Structure 1
Amino acid sequence: MRTATGLLVLSATLLGAASARQLARRDAPFDWSSLNSSANLSWTPCYDAFQCARFTVPLQYSNTSAGESQIALIMSPSNFSTGDPNYLGSILFNPGGPGGSGVQYILEMGPYFRAIIGPQYDLVGFDPRGVGATTPPLSVFASAAEALQFYATYPLNVNDSVSSLARAYVQGGILGNLTVDRAKDVAESVGTAAVATDMLQISRALGQEKVNYWGVSYGSILGATFAAMFPQNVGRLIIDGVSDSHQWYFGTQDTSSMLDTDGVVASIYAACVAAGPSLCPIWENSTALVDARVDRALNALRVAPQPIFNDTDPAATTFAVADYAAAFDGLFESIYFPYSEGPVAAAAIAALEQGDGSLVYGLSTEAGLTAISQDCTGSSGPFGVGFLDIVAPVLCGDALIDRRRSLAQAREDYAAMRNLSVFADVWYPTSIEACATWPIQAKDIFNGSFQTNTSTPILLIGNTFDPVTPIQSARNMSAGFGGSVVLQQNSTGHTSLSGFSTCTALAIREYFQNGTLPAAGTVCQPDTAIFEAPNNSSASGGVTISLRDEAALGLREAKRALGDGTAFLKRTWFPRWA
């Protein structure tokens, strides 16, 4: 029997890509509880070169007597003091989710954001309500063992068996009941409108009436909500990998996220064909043949799943099963960041053809969820996974219409989504199906319009092919924000960070430094192909960079590092929206 050598190689590959670019993570523990929380920000040195603080806000803005929340913040300080004319203020960041940690985002990726944006800003990440070091935590499960018990049996593919969709429906109801019993007050307080209001309060505590912001994926929902709620307080605001906020709040069931998913896969297969067999291990001479080859490899697991044993690393998962559901999910996960993970996924499929399923299993959400088991021994007390237990309270709690559905209606919703993409099999159970039985609505609700003129025009960014945030959503949202511009990055993957485009990086820098938007209709080319030999990319994707601008020469590497690092971070967070 094969060992999990391939799984270990995958981990080394992803970690190596990050460490090769000197990912900024600081592993030394930091005691957030040692910081006093107040409505006035008081910064304390943390994680070597960063500053940390806890900021007090009402648990509910609609009922300030309901209690308080303490928001965890981290800052990468500007090179300039606040009195220096070169200082431009602070930028808030959100990495998506819902459930992504803004603290971890800046801790890991701050140096690369700095390389793109420049030294004039403080870069500020915050853990949204219910996430990370922010308190009170959204703790649905009593322990890591209980969380594992729930998620180990949760279907990640509702087309895997005749009962899988029904099981996901029933387990979603269990999650809702657990949340009502154990965390209702917190779950009611984590909605997007409350977090958007937190952003304004944080910015004011930083001495700014206007909020500068860069949010990706779900962070685009948060950014658009902020702009709609507080249009007069919009500073330089970028939303990247844009979701349709109209559907988020008002849609019964949103299928728009899957508009381009199959196009993403087709473009990756086309890149494989163009690269040739020396660079793409699943090469065939047409996209259709690559597609058929991948289907054969995956479908073989329906009949004969592959056992995986790890006898080399006692700290890792001891055993697993590479079945069709895990492999198909792994393929879906890889198309989020094809420039980082496309070659890994192709190698995984090739290995699968040879009887080694460990690589393709390592790409799956299931492989990430098994990490929970590493915490089970001796673990007790409230435990938050940050998967459906944070996605559902935000996604479903934000809804302005009743999204609860019967099982029969849920089957119809899934069928409608699957008409757009076969990847509905893995998207549906980890996103909108949770709302079919969700019992809690957020206390602070946005019920306004996305038709407004903001005090500063917004920059929206979208890829030509994005698996879950199609560029059409960026255009739909831009139509409501007067003066806004959509920048199209002609690449494949989720958010512009998934590809490497110096053109896009320069546009972002110009916007944050000078407030200058790219011309309407601008299309930025990527610097690299998905499958290519090392060091075989153009320097600037067709954009001329002045040689006197030495900082600009590092933009491509910074953008690449952001893509690799964000892909790695996504594998430490479970929410699919991220």
Structure 2
Amino acid sequence: MNRITYLVAGLLASAAALPTSESTLQERNIGPAGRISSFKDIPSSPELHWTPCYKRFHCANLEVPLDYENPKLGSTVVAWIRLESENGTGTDIIFNPGGPGGSGVDYMLSGGDDLIKMTGGKYDIVSFDPRGVNASGIDLTCFPGSPEARDQYAANSGRYPTEQEKYAEAVAHGRWCSAVNNKTEVRYGGTVAVVQDMLHFTELQAAQDGSKKPKESLIWYYGVSYGTVIGQTLAALYPDRVGRVIVDANVNGEDHYAGVTDTAVEDADDGIQYFFKVCHEAGETKCPFAGKSSSPKDLEKRFNTILEKLKKEPLQSITPALGGPTIITKDMVLHQIFSWLYNPAAYFPYMAASLLALEKGNATMVLTILAELNRADDPGPFNYTSTAAGEVLDLVTAIDSAGRYPIKNVDEYTKAVDEIEKTSVWFGEGYATLNPLINAGMTIMPPKSQLFPGFKKTKTKNPLLFINTNADPITPLSSAKHMSTFFTGSVVLTQNSGGHSSEAIPSKCTRGHIGEYLASAKLPKEGTVCETDKKPLVDKITRRDVVVPLVRSHRM
């Protein structure tokens, strides 16, 4: 599991104001922002106490029950962070960047200002680290107390060549993980518990703002990728508490709770076709791989030729400056391209240069490009590694799907692999050998109060806004359409572009509909399709257009 950061375009140029809430941020008396730069220095409390932090933010370590229905079991701490809008009405939008395993705190420190701008400067942005993530409590790991053992296992796992061996390794890991967590707090780390924490936070904030009925306070929420599962779960369990819920780049929630998201890459081929289209349109000057090709189909043929050559004979690099001998395989190229499809605006130029280098047999150039990107990747201020985030992904998925995981033996695994491989010509094989194994051997069961009962037709207090691009590599449009059927009055807004979420490429059309929804809960007409303002490679997309880093965690 790789932790991929990607740049995301702004959502809104402006949005109409909401009705003023009972109390503005200025009346909360939480003081000016301060210089505390570690959640370790922020006191924890069962009450919501905001502490000035990170120069311009406010932070809180909120003590919450492990199990809200049985508080005697003990508590954990959830880290919250807020960025106030200068012209805010006091309405909080809770944001989750995805995962499972994405840090909302880390995200806010680099992208909070952009979220304020996205929402027109009318809303205050709040995010948090869900249980087990980064600065929050519960140690979601299969190697409690031994991160070195975890890292060593991660570095050495996944090397078995056959499906039978891959399945056996995954089952052994799942059984091990379940056994060592027999008496730990891991079982309290699922998505339902995260939703309950959001509800608890909203009630505490409403009470602090002077609401006479905090138990009726509404949640305003915006979630991306796995964050859509959180939003879908919130709407399913607490429909009367939905203020505004925007879910963008939708996971199929039903599949998530079953433990295998078997249609996740069905639009990934469209993502690479999108590259061929814009590359051809841009021409050789802007897209080096375009060359003299006469059509996008021509580019596709050349791409397939590159893959066939790599399959037959991987490229070799012996450049001393790169540290050692290296080969480039077909699978390595597909894995890298898959990650670049998340953010076309940022990565299509690198993709074009790399494909041209591969076509010319220049392995050194490809490796130099990758090294340059790795150096530019900002790890953030926390010692929260991709390996740690990967364990959160595994364990949250296992907890959420407890008792529902459909694969019981190696034959069923190989059958699942065969079916998933059919969903994508280029990426089905890579995804199929990993995603179905996340829950193999896992038997960690959440408490009854945190066991998700499943989706059913639900009428929410305010309708949900589903958003999806139609060439998303990991969360297909069909997932948004399927999950929308469970929520009366909800609408799916489609953006005609590649990228993981609508923010990947700017669209005034999409921004406008989001603004109307935030202002008045007005939804676009069913079937609305928004075009983007610019195209990767074809147009110059600047830092102003694409500004916010997001984190995703997926098995590929």
TM norm. shorter chain > 0.5: yes
Tell me how far 1:14 sits from its aligned partner.
Answer: 8.3
Out of 372, 395, 398, the position equivalent to 1:396 is 398
Give how far 1:39 is off.
Answer: 2.1
1:323-350 per-residue CA deviation (whole Å, 9 max, x = no partner) reads 3322220011111112221221121111
Task: Go from structure 1 to structure 2 and tell me whether the alpha carbon gap of 1:226 and 1:309 turns closer, same or farther (over 3 Å shift).
Answer: farther
Please give the alpha-carbon distance, in whole angstroms, between the structure 2 residues aligned to 1:392 and 1:187: 12
Q: Deviations over 1:89-113 (max 9, x none)?
A: 1111111111100111111111111
Q: What's the counterpart of residue 314 of structure 2?
A: 304
Change (3 A) 1:154 1:434: same
Change (3 A) 1:390 1:487: same
Q: Is the 8 A contact 1:330 1:360 kept in 2?
A: no
Partner of 2:20: none
Distance 2:164 2:103 in 1: 31
Q: Identical aligned pairs, as a percentage?
A: 30
Aligned partner letter, 1:518 = P
Aligned to 1:516: 522
Question: 2:211 is matched with which residue?
Answer: none
Q: Distance in 2 between matches of 1:468 and 1:575?
A: 8
One of 424, 438, 441 as aligned partner of 2:442: 438
- TM-score, normalised via structure 2 length: 0.82
**What is residue 531 of structure 1 aligned with on the other side?**
537
**Alpha-carbon distance change, 118 to 144 in structure 1, aligned in 2, over 3 angstroms:** same
Mapped to 1, the partners of 2:128 and 2:356 lie a distance apart of: 41
1:475-532 CA-partner distances (Å, limit 9, x unpaired): 2222221121211111112111212112212222232233332233322110111222
Aligned CA distance change for structure 1 residues 95 and 500 (closer, same or farther; 3 Å): same
Matches within 5 A, 1:376-455: 385-399=387-401, 400-422=403-425, 423-443=427-447, 444-455=450-461
Q: Name structure 1 gaps, 5 residues minimum.
A: 1-10, 19-25, 81-85, 372-378, 536-555
- Tell me, yes or no, if the aligned pair for 2:468 and 2:501 is still in contact at 8 Å: yes
* Root-mean-square deviation (Å): 3.3
Instruction: State whether residues 210 and 234 of structure 1, in contact with CA within 8 Å, keep that contact through their aligned partners in structure 2.
Output: yes
Q: Against the structure 1 CA distance between its residues 362 and 221, is the aligned structure 2 distance closer, same or farther, given a 3 Å change threshold?
A: farther
Query: What does residue 190 of structure 1 align with?
Result: 189
Q: Distance in 2 between matches of 1:219 and 1:393?
A: 16
Which amino acid in structure 1 is aligned with residue 517 of structure 2? Answer: Y
Matched, 1:151 2:154: yes
Q: Which residue is equivalent to 2:239?
A: 231
Q: Is the 8 A contact 1:112 1:559 kept in 2?
A: no
- DSSP-derived class of the 2:140 partner: coil
Structure 1 residue 108 corresponds to structure 2 residue 115: no
TM-score, normalization: structure 1?
A: 0.79
Code of the residue aligned with 1:64 in structure 2: it is P
User: Whole-Å Cα distance in 2 between the matches of residues 426 and 339 of structure 1?
Assistant: 24
Instruction: Select which of 260, 271, 287 maps to 2:296.
Output: 287
Q: Contact 2:50–2:60 at 8 Å: present in 1 too?
A: yes
Where do 1:198-213 residues align within 5 Å? 198-207=197-206, 209-213=217-221
1:550 aligned residue? none
What letter corresponds to residue 307 of structure 1 in structure 2? S
Deviates more, 1:326-335 or 1:278-287: 278-287
Deviations 1:100-150 (A, max 9, x none): 001111111111111110223221110011100001332334555434432
Shift of 1:62: 4.7
CA apart distance, 1:213 = 0.4
Kindly tell me: are residues 389 and 318 of structure 1, through their superposed partners in 2, closer, same or farther at Cα, counting changes over 3 Å?
A: farther
Kept after mapping to 2: 8 A contact 1:334/1:342: yes
Which of residues 324, 332, 335 is equivalent to 1:329? 335
After TM superposition, the structure 1 stretch with the greater mean CA deviation from structure 2, 256-265 or 147-156, is 147-156
Letter in 1 for 2:435: S
Question: In the alignment, is residue 179 of structure 1 matched against residue 188 of structure 2?
Answer: no
In structure 2, distance between residues paired with 1:223 and 1:359: 43
8 Å Cα contact 1:112/1:558 also seen in 2? no
2:256 alignment counterpart: 248
CA, structure 1 residues 337+125, in 2 after alignment: closer, same or farther (shift >3 Å)?
A: same
> For residues 113-124 of structure 1, what are the structure 2 equivalents within 5 Å?
113-124=115-126
2:197 & 2:507 partners in 1: Cα distance? 32
Shift of 1:228: 0.5
Aligned CA distance change for structure 1 residues 151 and 358 (closer, same or farther; 3 Å): farther
- Structure 2 CA distance for partners of 1:409 and 1:176, relative to 1, 3 Å: same
Corresponding residue of 1:44: 51
Aligned mates of 1:213, 1:482 — CA distance in 2: 18
The equivalent residue for 2:351 is: 345
Larger mean CA deviation between 266-275 and 487-496 belongs to: 266-275
**2:185 & 2:332 partners in 1: Cα distance?**
32
CA gap 1:173/1:387 in 2 versus in 1, 3 angstroms = farther
Counterpart Cα distance in 1 of 2:446 and 2:244:
28
